[in-house]
Amino acid sequence: MLMNAVEVMKCLPHRYPFLLVDGIESFTADESIVGIKNVTINEPFFQGHFPGHPIMPGVLIIEAMAQVGGVFANLNDGIGADKVTYFTGIDKVKFRQPVVPGNVLRMELTLLKFRRGIYQFAGKAYVGSTLVTQAELKATFVSREG
């Protein structure tokens, strides 16, 4: 593991219950990053999504991928936890399989382009070797003061 959760928190402003990255497995400058999320029954969203049939909300899988992108921006370009991420676009989203407690979500992001402060990533999320979610994510980073 390249980074554990404590090290991830040095890169992102997110905290419980919204920190959705438990570690970074690999990082290649100007190219890609791989992060993980251990999905447990203790996640607060499972209380209501859905009682007796817990499924991780798709929007939170997308958010977890975006947080991995935030770590990429920090490692690649020094964009620190003093900034917040604003989505500028989410395209080509496909949810292929449900993500449930006990799964380890492995998120692979590849940088497609970086222009005028906007990062564009191709993201894929896997459980084991099964592709569960994919999307293109666009985001920028702004000062907390706004």
pLDDT tens over the chain, length 146 residues? 999 999 999 999 999 999 999 999 999 999 999 999 999 999 999 999 999 999 999 999 999 999 999 999 999 999 988 888 899 999 999 999 999 999 999 999 999 999 999 999 999 999 999 999 999 999 999 988 75
pLDDT of residue 53: 97
pLDDT of residue 54: 98
Catalytic residue among 49, 83, 104, 140: 49
pLDDT of residue 82: 86
Closest among 82, 76, 81 to 121, alpha carbons compared: 76
* Three-state SS at 140: strand
pLDDT of residue 23: 98
Residue 14 designated active-site: no
Sheet holding 32-38, edge to edge: 3-4, 23-28, 32-38, 104-115, 118-127, 130-143, 83-95
pLDDT of residue 146: 55
Number of domains forming the structure of the chain: 1
Where in the sequence is the domain holding 117, given as residue range(s)? 3-143
CATH of residue 138: 3.10.129.10
What kind and span of H or E run contains 116? Answer: none
pLDDT of residue 10: 95
